[in-house]
Amino acid sequence: MSLKIINITRSVVSCDIFKISCPKNWCNLPNKSAFLNSKSRAQNCVTFVRTYSNSKITNNMRFIQFQRNQSNKSALGVISADGSKFVDISDAYPTDMISFIKSNVPIADIEQRIESLKWEDISGVKLQAPVSNPEKIVCIGLNYLGHCLEQNKEPPSEPMFFSKFASTITGPTGDVILHDITTQLDWEVELAVIIGKEARHVSASSALDHVFGYSVAQDISARDWQKSRNGGQFLIGKSMDTFCPLGPSIVHKSLVTDPHNLRLTCSVNGVPKQLGNTSELIFRINEIIHRLSQSITLKPGDVILTGTPSGVGMHRKPAEFLKVGDVIESEIQSIGKIVNTIVKDTP
């Protein structure tokens, strides 16, 4: 990939994202600072000003799974854009999200039904992860240029896929366990894509037709197990119990005008750690689905974590890792916010 470095409100982004041809290969990532200050950059690079959309969402296609207080029964609902109210749609549709997605109910039918239902205060229920048992959770590493740069790594020429077990999923306010076997617990805010219909051998141009919606995720990682143990394989370091907080809802794709222009942030104990935008994705969502579907059939309810921007704890100087009592807040523009607390491991 021919790459040119451009500065976007103090972020470094690939020109490839903006479909710009680079006249020369100006990219030398280990020496990027010198390049950014060079005359070559001034003569050959373009500076963009990033803007964010603040348009209001007026309809209600934000789907949740929840339990009423003092009940173990899971139910399906729709939550308001501000997160304060919900309607229970369990009487009309399947009560678990994956079955609901598979049923392919027309959005117009849901909107019409909601008009006759009573909105309730959200304080009376506990939000669960909007998808609780997907067949697959597929992740992609090094998919934000800033995350590559903070590691002094070249951006990949093809996606780096790995997976997490479904048992990693916890809800939007669920606790994250600091397992006794790790001392290097780290955060990664990510946009999650929820598959809506089966995808096999799909083209990049039609790939987004297979998306149901979007959610907020944390790709919690035990860096010692990811990097230096288990033979360098990611699985254990990424798949410990509670290592995938998800929620608060699935925002239907009809509400997301451009999934490649969403601001995402992560803070720990109120201190900002990550600030990025999905415009910085090296491999866009349609390309990810296209590539995966050439060899893996994606099913309704499957979850794809699309990568994380710069600012993870491992690559800070000095490195920072999560400890018991820490609170992680992860938020994505127009999608929502999840808040998770680190707790001690118990037998």
Return the pLDDT at 29.
Answer: 47
Do 188 and 210 belong together in one domain? yes
Q: Are residues 276 and 243 in the same domain?
A: yes
Distance CA 146, CA 7 (A): 11
96 lies in the same domain as 189:
no
User: Do residues 79 and 162 both lie within one domain?
Assistant: no
Same domain assignment for residues 87 and 142:
no
Q: What is the residue range of 79's domain?
A: 62-127
Residue 53 inside a domain? The answer is: no
pLDDT mean across residues, the chain: 87
- Is the residue at 221 inside a domain? yes
- Helical ranges in the chain per DSSP H: 32-36, 39-44, 97-103, 107-114, 145-149, 223-227, 235-239, 285-293
Per-residue model confidence (pLDDT) at position 59: 65
Express as a percent the part of the chain with pLDDT over 90.
80
Q: Say yes or no to pLDDT of 4 above 70.
A: no
Model confidence over 301-339: pLDDT tens digits?
999 999 999 999 999 999 999 999 999 999 999 999 999
Which whole-number Å values give the CA distances from 195 to 61, 69, 158, 252, in the listed order?
16, 30, 21, 11
Q: Which segment of 126-130, 172-176, 199-203, 227-231 scores lowest on mean pLDDT?
A: 227-231
Q: Is the pLDDT of residue 113 over 90?
A: yes
Look at residue 39 and tell me whether its pLDDT is greater than 70: no
Same structural domain for residues 119 and 231?
Answer: no
Domain shared by 121 and 143, yes or no: no
Residue 72 belongs to a domain: yes
Q: Is residue 50 part of a domain?
A: no
Instruction: Output the pLDDT for position 69.
Output: 85
Q: Are residues 38 and 79 in the same domain?
A: no
Q: How many domains does the chain have?
A: 3
One-letter amino acid of 281: L
pLDDT for res 207: 98
Whether 230 is in a domain gets the answer yes
Average pLDDT of span 271-295: 98
- Predicted structure pTM score: 0.84
Same-domain check for residues 237 and 154: yes
